[in-house]
Amino acid sequence: MSGHMNDRMRGKMELLKERIKKDGIVDGKILKVDSFLNHQVDVLLLAEIAKEFKKRFEGESITKVLTLETSGIPIATMVAATYQVPMVVARKTVGKNIEGEVYSTQVESYSKHTTFEVLVGKKFLSSEDKILMIDDILSNGCALLGLTQLILDAGAKIVGAGIVIEKGFQIGGELMRTAGVRVESLVNITEITESGEIIFA
Amino acid sequence: MSGHMNDRMRGKMELLKERIKKDGIVDGKILKVDSFLNHQVDVLLLAEIAKEFKKRFEGESITKVLTLETSGIPIATMVAATYQVPMVVARKTVGKNIEGEVYSTQVESYSKHTTFEVLVGKKFLSSEDKILMIDDILSNGCALLGLTQLILDAGAKIVGAGIVIEKGFQIGGELMRTAGVRVESLVNITEITESGEIIFA
């Protein structure tokens, strides 16, 4: 990658930071990005995000993109489209009938203070697969740990995790990296101040 | 559109029919398309689906694509990307904190025999908007009716609904069309036989 490309990519991620500062809503230690990443999704930004993940994981062979419902689905869809590989959505069990055998694990919810089960049909993860995990926000890492467990249960290879926004002041990123998982975060928030200011790494 | 294009498009939708016959799983009157549209998503098929919706709604001005979580999200993402407009996900309320005022309505679930609330932040739907609704499957039309209600509450224009699989033997399609909503289904299933065979219109 040339220096020029690096500058351009830095520029794109600067735009993401500006967007977070402008449109993100801080509620305690929770950052809401409802207006461009979750509830309403800016597909132009999404295309840039997908391109950036492809750059970050350049040279890696990826057979499937895995996310956990719900907020990571649009990002995972666009990343999978960029790689032209299938996208798999791990499901929260409530009311879901999944045909056949499943891999399942428990995930804690940081924002809801509950534990829920996530599962994926066994036929959608095989030992031949090389999996890129995708999620919108990395906080305490419980969602990502759950996905990691599902991949390990299937005997598939973990290529890494592509995260749009890492909250560096929470333990998730450190936890995953210490466990040997490559985590690529497009922006890293090191602090949300008392006054609600967002500080980037 | 030339006859040649029509043939090509028919060909694409024939592929979708073949895929449903090959990989769809029939469970009573419920059709599961987990292996290519829901749980695992074939992004190449998704790209064709998005292109086809763009053809069907050619000439229409569309400012936003609206879907209901969860299974319509990948399709809506790709359609919104094709139009380069924002995608909005109406949320099921359980445990969701949405910032600010919302439009909300009740939706019945056909497969779960329950009623749930769906909502969308008021700031994401305005009276200036021209909305294309997207969903994977149209059965009794409750999800689509819910989305329609949210759009009407916002005073926005309903362009229509893009549905991948309509179950023509259920009332949803007739209900929506009678109500004056343009419904474009890529395939229409008129019957699922006792033996589980899928019959197309």
What pLDDT score does B15 carry? Answer: 87
Rounded Cα distance between A141 and A107, Å, is 10
pLDDT value, residue B151: 98
pLDDT > 70? residue B97: no
Residue B1: predicted pLDDT: 39
> What pLDDT is stored for residue A15 in this prediction?
87
Q: Please provide the average confidence, as pLDDT, over all residues in chain A.
A: 91
**E strand or H helix that includes residue B198:** strand B198-200
**Do residues A78 and A47 make contact, with C-beta atoms less than 8 angstroms apart?**
yes
Residues of chain A in contact with residue B27, where contact means CB-CB under 8 angstroms, are: 97, 99
Residue-by-residue DSSP string for B73-114: HHHHHHHHHHHT--EEEEEE-TT----S-EEEEEEEETTTTE
Minimal CA–CA distance to B65: which of B152, B153, B160? B160
Pair A125, A90: CB distance under 8 Å: no
Looking at CA atoms only, how far is residue B102 from chain A in angstroms? 12
| Residue A87 in this model has a pLDDT that exceeds 80 | yes
Q: Check residue B27 and give its pLDDT.
A: 85
Whether B148 and B158 have beta carbons less than 8 Å apart is answered as yes
Residues 122-161 of A with CB under 8 A from B: 123-124
Predicted local confidence at residue B3, as pLDDT? 44
Share of chain A above pLDDT 70, in %: 90
Model confidence at A120: pLDDT above 50: yes
Does the pTM surpass 0.90? The reply is yes
Q: What is the pLDDT of residues A36-64, one digit of tens each?
A: 999 999 999 999 999 999 999 999 999 99
Strand B130-138 to B64-68 pairing: parallel
Nearest-by-CA chain A residue for B70: A70
Whether B77 sits inside 8 A of A46 (CB atoms) is yes
Supply the ipTM of this predicted assembly. Answer: 0.91
Distance from CA of A54 to the nearest CA of B (A): 16
Give the A window 63-102 contacts with B, CB below 8 Å: 69-70, 73-74, 77-78, 80-81, 84-89, 91, 95, 97-99
A188 to chain B nearest CA, in Å? 23
Residue A92: per-residue pLDDT? 87
- Report cis status (omega within 30 of 0) of the bond before B63: no
Q: Is the pLDDT at A30 greater than 80, yes or no?
A: yes
d(CA B135, CA B86): 16
pLDDT band at B5 (very low <50, low <70, confident <90, very high): very low
Identify residue B30 by its one-letter amino acid code. Answer: I
The second-level CATH assignment, the architecture, of B3-200 is: 3-Layer(aba) Sandwich (3.40)
Residue spans of the domains in chain B: they are: 3-200
Q: Angle at Cα B163 formed by Cα B160 and Cα B169, nearest 5°?
A: 110
Binary contact (B95, A77; C-beta < 8 A) = no
Best CA proximity match to B115, nearest among B105, B104, B106, B102? B106
Largest CA distance in chain B: 50
Q: Strands, DSSP E only, in A96-175?
A: 102-109, 114-121, 130-138, 157-167
Res. B2: pLDDT tops 90: no
Mean pLDDT of the A108-135 span:
90
Q: How many Cβ pairs closer than 8 A exist between chain A and B?
A: 117
pLDDT of B134 strictly over 90: yes
The beta-carbon neighbor of B70 closest among A70, A112, A120 is A70
In tens, the pLDDT along A160-184 reads 999 999 999 999 999 999 999 999 9
A77 pLDDT more than 80: yes
